[in-house]
Amino acid sequence: MSLPDTPAVLVDIDVARRNIRAFQAYADRHGIRVRPHIKTHKLPQMAELQLEAGAIGITCQKVTEAEAMVDGSPRIKDVLITYNILGEEKLARLARLNERVRLSVVADNTAVIDGLAARFAREGKPLTVLVECNTGADRCGVATPAEAAHLAERIAEAPGLRFGGLMTYPPADGAARVQSFMSEAKELIEAAGLEVPTITSGGTPSMMQAADVPVATEYRPGTYIYNDRSLVERGVATWDDCALTVLATVVSVPAENRAIIDAGSKVLTSDLLGLTGYGHVLGRDDIRIDQLSEEHGRLVSNGPIGLAVGDQVRIVPNHACVVTNMVDVVHIVDGDEPKEEWAVVARGHIL
């Protein structure tokens, strides 16, 4: 097999396997269950590698994403959707999925709980619902342990629902806050006579400190399987740990210090994650990708850029997960050797 036409997303399967093993080994040592978030790869094959390594199930963000993953692998039997699910169409999809796998979702408000209950009261099998808690990321999640306990009781009392525990997506370095919030919430919920089967946290940047939150039983890393420039810049991965790269071709060298490649925001995306520039050209620390339009990327250097039209470069994107979502296929490679094309079956599933 030859290298694919560009731009193309390459995934080094050995690097991905090594990344999976590294966190699983850490989690095993500390008795933490691993439930990887599939948003990073959106590939049933990668989920199977994670399950084989010891993951207990997967995390998805949307119902249709979960459907695509379950359709894609009979080995995916346990799915947590970390999202407030609302609306008749999504609830109907959720009910069908609940018949196929061990399924759980989250909720951070009574409107969502009541919607789930109204639907699942009619179903044969109850749906497991965890309470989402805000431990500092200020996205979704109840603000206090008392609110978490209140929602836990509401779930436990609702027909068709089963209380499954507590979930959070913390900020990086949020371990102390997660530990105190979850401990307090757990105590309140247990005092009300309920068990808290699962306490789940996540995020790749802090995953190697997951054991600093002993109250948590489960961890949901996502980006760790591929890594990306944002994680290298945070110091939690090296370029050698980056499994996903974008292969691009130089299509123009219009000035001595400037080259234009055939990968723009339609592949690399505009995600900055607090960084400057849109990715790292492997082996070329002197180059900045300072501008993207949809189909062009601009590479600039302080001196002569030393690239010719037709040259190829490999780029570690700022954010691997969003790049996966831009392409219909990824090219599995072993170093520089192309092996297979995998269809990104859970790409673009926004519902």
Residues forming the site for a copy of itself (CB under 8 A): 5-7, 39, 61-62, 83-84, 86-87, 89-90, 108-109, 111-112, 134, 138-143, 249, 251-255, 258, 260, 262-263, 265-267, 269-272, 291, 293-296, 298, 308-310, 321-322, 325-328, 348, 350-351
Query: Least distance (Å) from a copy of itself to the CB of residue 125?
Result: 23
Between 7 and 32, CB nearer to a copy of itself: 7
Q: Which residues pair with residue 291 across a beta bridge? A: 298
How far is residue 284's CA from residue 330's CA, in Å, rounded to a whole number?
Answer: 24
Q: From the CB of 173, what's the least distance to a copy of itself, in Å? A: 18
SS3 220: strand
DSSP string, 41-106: T--HHHHHHHHHHT---EEESSHHHHHHHHHH-TT--EEEEEEE--SHHHHHHHHHHHHHSEEEEE
Least distance from a copy of itself to the Cβ atom of residue 225, Å = 16
Q: By C-beta, is 25 or 143 nearer to a copy of itself?
A: 143
Q: How far is the CB of 321 from a copy of itself (least distance, A)?
A: 6
Identify which of residues 109 and 206 has a Cβ nearer to a copy of itself in the complex.
Answer: 109
Instruction: Write the burial class of residue 171 (CB in 10 Å: 0-12 exposed, 13-18 middle, 19+ buried).
Output: middle
Output phi, psi for 143, to 5 deg. Answer: -85, -20
Which residue, 38 or 51, has its beta carbon nearer to a copy of itself?
38
Q: Which is nearer to a copy of itself, 77 or 150 (CB)?
A: 150
Give the residue from 123, 124, 88, 85 showing the smallest Cα distance to 104: 85
Nearest to 177 by CA among 213, 222, 149: 213
Closest contact distance (angstroms) between CB of 305 and a copy of itself is: 14
Contact 178, 201 (CB under 8 A): yes
- Least Cβ distance, residue 121 to a copy of itself (angstroms): 19
Give the three-class secondary structure for 113: helix
CB of 85 to a copy of itself, least distance (A): 8
d(CA 264, CA 7): 9
CB of 335 to a copy of itself, least distance (A): 22
> Is 188 or 327 the residue whose CB approaches a copy of itself more closely?
327
Could you write out the three-class secondary structure of 172-216?
Answer: CCCHHHHHHHHHHHHHHHHHCCCCCCEEEEECCCCHHHHHHCCCC
Query: Per the structure block, which two tokens stand in for 79?
Result: 């799915």
Smallest distance, a copy of itself to C-beta of residue 349, A: 9
Is 3 or 22 the residue whose CB approaches a copy of itself more closely?
3
Minimum distance from CB of 309 to a copy of itself (Å)? 4
User: What residue type is assigned to position 317 of the chain?
Assistant: P
Measure the N-to-C terminal CA separation of the chain; round to a whole number of Å: 36
- C-alpha span between 99 and 314 (Å, rounded): 43
In the complex with a copy of itself, the residue whose CB is nearer, 109 or 217, is 109
Distance of alpha carbon 98 from alpha carbon 295, whole angstroms: 41
Distance CA 271, CA 317 (A): 9
Choose between 32 and 278: whose C-beta lies nearer to a copy of itself. 278
CA 53 from centroid of its chain's CA atoms: 17
For a copy of itself, the closer CB: 61 or 209: 61
